[in-house]
Every structure is written in structure tokens, then in C-alpha cells.
Amino acid sequence: MQFSAFTYLASAIAATIGVSIESILVDITNIRERVTSLIGAINNYPATCGSRAGAAGIHYRAEDTWTAIIKTINDVKTIREPVSVADGVRILNSINALKPLVLEALRVVVDKKPAFQSLNMKSVLNFVADDLVELNQTTTALENVFISRTPPELLEEANAIRAEIDSAFIVAIAVYSPAHLNRGI
């Protein structure tokens, strides 16, 4: 019982103090690693003769990415405001390093749609569609919390990054939308 009380107290103190910018940068690196793993799983999925188990492996990597994003959201919420321009630049640089990987993951999942369709199992396509929606929602939440703490001098760049990522999600989600799935597009 003492251990759980200590853990609760430590969590409360951490939430009050807030996490450091370095912790946020580590979180972003963790997301980058998860997205890289997701890209690898998608790329390794065969164009033909894939399996439901292989598709499940992709789904699990998407869940790992989602979990890393949620952790980052929670950590960013505890950053003490205002964030300095110098720290904002560090965070934006880290996000800029992540952005091409996110765009690549979305492009690759769109390109792999025929491989998933070849399984002739609608459940696999639904998994992909659901993962895209879930990752989009958490990414939007992360964007929102980052934007809310971005110094005014950096908002234009932050919003440009956001727009590029959001556009890529719109395309990927549209490709896996029910209308596209029903037409076999």
C-alpha cells in the first residue's frame, strides 16, 4: 500500500512540475522509431499471398505508434508554458525529422492496398481503415496540443507542418473509405 501511495504522489508531483523539453524530444524520437517499424512492416507485407497474421503484425505496430503518440500528448500537456522560441525550434526540428516518415507511412499503406485486397478478407481492409482513422485522431490531438504551446513566432511553420500531415491522412483515409472498399478502388 505504501508503494502505491508513493507512486501516486510521484505522479502528482511530476504532473505539477511538468516534463522537460528533453523528455518531449525523447517522446518524438520514440514516435519516429514506431513509425519506422510500421513502415518496415508494411513494406515487408508481400504483394501477393499475404496472410491475416502478417496484416495483424502491421496492426500491432500501428497500435504501438498510437500508444507512443498518446504518451507524447500527455507529456506535452504538462509542459510549463510559455515555451521559449529556442525550445519551440528544437521541438519543430524534431517534428520536421518525423514528418517525412509519417508521410512515407501513409503513402506506403495506400500503395499496399492491392496486397490487402488480395487476401479477399474485408476484415483486413477494415483493420487498416480503422487504424488510419485512429492514428489520424491521435495525430490531430497531438497537433492541437503542440500548437497550443507553440510560441507565436513559430505558429506559421507549425501550421504548415500540420497541414501537410493532415492532407496525407485525408488521402489515405479516403482510399480506405467504405465507398472505395466497396468499389475495389
Give the tens place of pLDDT for each residue, 104-124: 999 999 999 999 988 877 888
Q: How far is residue 28's CA from residue 18's CA, in Å, rounded to a whole number?
A: 17
Place of cell 526540428: 93
Domain boundaries of the chain, sorted by first residue? 19-183
Query: Is a pLDDT exceeding 60 seen at residue 35?
Result: yes
Q: Tell me the CA end-to-end span of the chain in Å, nearest whole number.
A: 57
Cβ distance 21 to 5 under 8 Å?
A: no
Q: How far is residue 121's CA from residue 118's CA, in Å, rounded to a whole number?
A: 8
| Local confidence band at 180 (pLDDT 50, 70, 90 cut-offs) | low
pTM of the model: 0.86
Report pLDDT for 182.
55
Mean pLDDT of the chain: 89
Region 128-146: what's the mean pLDDT? 97
Report pLDDT for 160.
98
Query: Is a pLDDT exceeding 50 seen at residue 11?
Result: no
